[in-house]
Structure 1
Amino acid sequence: MSDWADNPRLNTWLTAQQTAFPAWARETGQAWDFTVDSMDRLEQLLRKRLAARHDLLAAEAVEQPAVAVPGWYLGEVLNRNYGTRWHRNPVEPTHPDQPKTPFVQFPEDPEAEYDDEENMPPVCNPINEIRSLFVREPSYHLRHIVNRFERWVPLRDHSG
């Protein structure tokens, strides 16, 4: 999966979001510092701006900054705080089960063995997580994503 971590399709998307981020941040009127605590503010902003699911789907369909930049930001918070890395299929997916949008996960550990899915390191597809805010129970929060990574990091640190 190493070519999923460095390919033109991923790199083009990352560059577009990095370029759009400063204008998006100014437009929100908030300071974005890539801390875990900023997840609550990001969620509030998304819930306010994308109040209806059709707003989210419309913004996502054309990769507008309204969804793509917050997705990038969420992934960057995980990358900067937990050591995950971006990945994206180097070719346009043809199967519905293949991820269409970039995701973050821990770097592969060739020595790791996982006995079941419960023990596998978490993966986060930020665009899907943003979409989930509008289809899951109201008690679901972006903070839950962070918690999945926080719980796994000590296990990862002790294994290597």
Structure 2
Amino acid sequence: MDEQQQEQEREWADNPRLDAWISEQRAAFHAHFPPAADDWDFSIESLDRLEAFIRRRFSSSEEIRAERDSGPVGAATWYLGEVHVRTAGAQWQYGAEPDLAAPEHDRPYVTIPYERLDEYPPADDDPAQDGRPLMAPESELRALFLRGPDNHLRDTLAPYHRLRDIEDDAQ
């Protein structure tokens, strides 16, 4: 990754737009998903509860897309990403300015910080690209309906473990 891309990634990880989005969604989460018996502890297991809520509340990917800026969808998006941040060491990324050329894709996502690039082998399909996991939480919520009942939110954490599996196989 060249220096310009590194700088953009730093800006995308630390900017007022991202900070405001995170703050807004955190507040919305507590409003839509009140704490009860430590259910919302940012554990992998808590993703099963989040998934159950999404599957009960929505019946299709299109419904989630239609409500992408609503409290429940935004809050669930934040929570899913935050589990990645807290359990896998990912960081949030979001453009400092809206992408007017592609507003449909102008959404926050999580990835491993650039400083940990060397922990992940190059991408399988393109060795010139880095292999850090990248996850768009809202897309994964919609994918619950696109990929079918065997797709689960906890599976979104699998790419972070790929490196550990490769290392274990080598030993």
Q: Report if TM-score (shorter chain) is over 0.5.
A: yes
The one of 144, 149, 155 aligned to 1:144: 155
State the identity %: 32
Aligned to 1:38: 46
Number of residues of Structure 1 aligned to a counterpart in Structure 2: 154
Aligned to 2:3: none
Q: CA deviation at 1:115?
A: 6.8
Match of 1:108 among 110, 114, 128: 114
Q: Is the 8 A contact 2:25 2:78 kept in 1?
A: yes
1:5-62: CA deviations, max 9, x gaps? 01121111001011122211228998211001111111111011011333212211xx
Deviation at 1:153, TM superposition (A): 5.6
Q: Could you state the TM-score of these two structures normalised by the residue count of structure 1?
A: 0.82
Give the superposed CA RMSD: 2.9
Structure 2: gaps spanning 5 or more residues: 1-8, 125-129
Match of 1:5 among 6, 9, 13: 13
- Distance in 2 separating the partners of 1:111 and 1:121: 7
Larger radius of gyration: 2
User: Which blocks of at least 5 consecutive residues in structure 1 are unaligned?
Assistant: none
Matches within 5 A, 1:59-138: 59-60=67-68, 63-96=69-102, 99-109=105-115, 112=118, 116-118=122-124, 120-138=131-149
Instruction: Report the AA paired with residue 39 of structure 2.
Output: A
TM-score using structure 2 length: 0.77
CA-to-partner distance for each residue in 1:110-133, whole Å, 9 max, x for gaps?
773977422601111101111111
